[in-house]
């Protein structure tokens, strides 16, 4: 697989078996695993049928390896991971933590690519390289 995703904290690989794997907690405190499709703009989401959350519910995403929350401090409805392309290029990926909201940003330096019908350009273009 050409593209990999890693945790911004521990830099462990988050993708396996063609999906990106997260530990997650819903607003109601339900805990489980969420698998997201690695193709940006593909919003296929997989999880155990007993691990339920509703459209519009904000989900907290954690790295399954180090346990760190992936919520980005600069845009708190978004989670942040790192995408590694084959050529060694690194991108910051921000995706909405709100269930059902299709909004993803791929950022490198001053350049930004937007995916998903709910994404807007309402992102703070200052400090694009400084997501934590
Ligand atoms: Zn980690």
Compute, in angstroms, the gap from residue 13 CA to the centroid of ligand 1: 8
User: pLDDT tens across 79-130, in order?
Assistant: 999 999 988 899 999 999 999 999 999 998 888 899 999 988 666 555 555 6
Compute, in angstroms, the gap from residue 32 CA to the centroid of ligand 1: 16
What is the chain's alpha carbon radius of gyration, rounded to the nearest angstrom?
14
Q: State which residues have CB under 5 angstroms from ligand 1, the bound ion.
A: 7, 9-10, 63, 65-66
For the chain, which residues make up each domain, given as ranges? Answer: 4-130
Compute, in angstroms, the gap from residue 59 CA to the centroid of ligand 1: 17
Rounded mean pLDDT of 2-15? Answer: 96
Beta carbons of 130 and 75 less than 8 angstroms apart = no
Phi, psi values for residue 76, rounded to 5°: -70, -10
Compute, in angstroms, the gap from residue 54 CA to the centroid of ligand 1: 26
User: pLDDT tens across 23-32, in order?
Assistant: 999 999 999 9
Distance CA 123, CA 4 (A): 25
Torsion-angle region of 89 (φ positive above 0: left; ψ -120 to 50: alpha; else: beta): beta
Compute, in angstroms, the gap from residue 114 CA to the centroid of ligand 1: 25
Distance CA 22, CA 9 (A): 14
Beta carbons of 59 and 26 less than 8 angstroms apart = yes
Beta carbons of 118 and 102 less than 8 angstroms apart = yes
- Record the pTM: 0.91
């Amino acid at each position: 697989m050409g593209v990999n995703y890693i945790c911004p904290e521990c830099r462990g690989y988050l993708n396996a078996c063609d999906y990106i794997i997260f530990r997650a907690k819903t607003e109601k405190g339900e805990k489980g695993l969420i698998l997201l499709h690695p193709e940006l703009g593909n919003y296929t989401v997989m999880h155990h049928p007993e691990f339920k959350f509703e459209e519009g519910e904000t989900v907290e995403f954690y790295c399954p390896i180090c346990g760190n929350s992936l919520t980005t401090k600069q845009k708190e409805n978004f989670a942040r991971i790192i995408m590694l392309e084959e050529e060694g290029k690194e991108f910051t990926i921000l995706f909405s933590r709100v269930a059902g909201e299709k909004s993803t940003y791929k950022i490198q330096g001053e350049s930004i690519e937007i995916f998903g019908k709910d994404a807007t350009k309402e992102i703070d273009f200052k400090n694009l390289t400084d997501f934590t």
